[in-house]
Amino acid sequence: MVFFNYHSRNGRDACRELIGFFFMYDRSLTVYEYRQFGKNRTNALPFIQKGVYSHQRGQRKGQQYDLNDLHVGANLTFLSCNLSLPESIKQNAIFTLRVTNIDEAAMDILKTTSVGIKQDITQQEIDESRVFRIVQGILKEKLSKRGVRVVTRLGKYFRELDHKGDGAFSKAVFKQALTLFHLEVPEKDFESLWLILDDNGNDKVDYGEFTRAFIGEMNEYRKTFVRKAYMKLDFNKTGRVPMVDIRKCYCAKKHSQVLSGDATEEEIKSSFLETLEHVCSNPSEVSYCEFEDYYEGLSIEIMDDEDFVNILKNAWGI
């Protein structure tokens, strides 16, 4: 059993509960969406029909998925054509599912009993990983004290530029954004990373993919709690939460500065809300991507996973 998250800036899609199954005998997979109907009824609806699928991007493009492709943090890409998908997802020719959790016991049994599944990492993939680490290392120091401010404002900057709604921009736009937010990297490193991201050579890259590559992203353990917090607020899965509900539900009682006596609960809450209101496209509501951007920036500033998770638990009661 594999748990997925749909990689999307659309909160309604990003919070879909997706569970998949991989079949070793023919290397096929299928994905179901678990949906709540009323208070006590949950149905598993087909999301991706059972079939044999292949990588649609990167160095393994065209290669069939196998057991080694299924691990926490892995991205699986699919063609949206010929699949019965929600219209919001079919707008993209290629969509991505991120593996968020996996049945490790079942995986160990499959790897032990299966033969011929070893898949070596290519030298090119090793080189690409090194490029990511170099660029993210350069920016990590610049963002260590201003992660929330930069990541949230960068997200708003790109959303306001995204007049077509496809989230894709040219190299020139991204270079301008890095300069504007004082996130410059050596030209050689920028070009190396751009060649990896622009794998079809059309001078267009999704801005979410760009920021994840340049800045990095929080691990799946942290993201799980960010999604839990948002889904508690957005129980109808609309992808938007009224700011009045954010104000009502946010709790600063156990914030470190409150406990130390350096700030009051109201001061912490007001600071949090002001930050959100400033970076939201609509100051009266918070979209999933805006909520995630805030915690993506905060994640950069907090090294320990449990410290980060406790902040979410204390603030949202999850």
> Residue by residue, what is the 3-state secondary structure of 252-272?
CCCCHHHHCCCCCHHHHHHHH
Low-confidence residues in the chain, pLDDT < 50? none
Query: Rounded distance, CA 93 to CA 10, Å?
Result: 16
171-179 contact pairs (CB < 8 A, 24+) = 171/198, 171/203, 171/205, 174/205, 174/207, 174/210, 178/214
Please tell me the predicted confidence (pLDDT) of residue 10: 62
Q: Which pLDDT does position 67 carry in this prediction?
A: 84
Domain boundaries, the chain: 2-120, 124-215, 220-316
pLDDT value, residue 14: 73
**What kind of architecture, by CATH, is found in domain 220-316?**
Orthogonal Bundle (1.10)
What is the share, in percent, of the chain residues with pLDDT greater than 90?
33
CATH class of 2-120: mainly beta
Q: Do domains 2-120 and 124-215 have the same CATH topology?
A: no
Are the C-beta atoms of 77 and 65 separated by less than 8 Å?
no
pTM over 0.85: no
**Confidence at residue 112, expressed as pLDDT on a 0 to 100 scale:** 74
User: Given 1.10.238.10, 1.10.10.1100, 1.10.8.420, 1.10.101.10, which CATH number is that of 124-215?
Assistant: 1.10.238.10
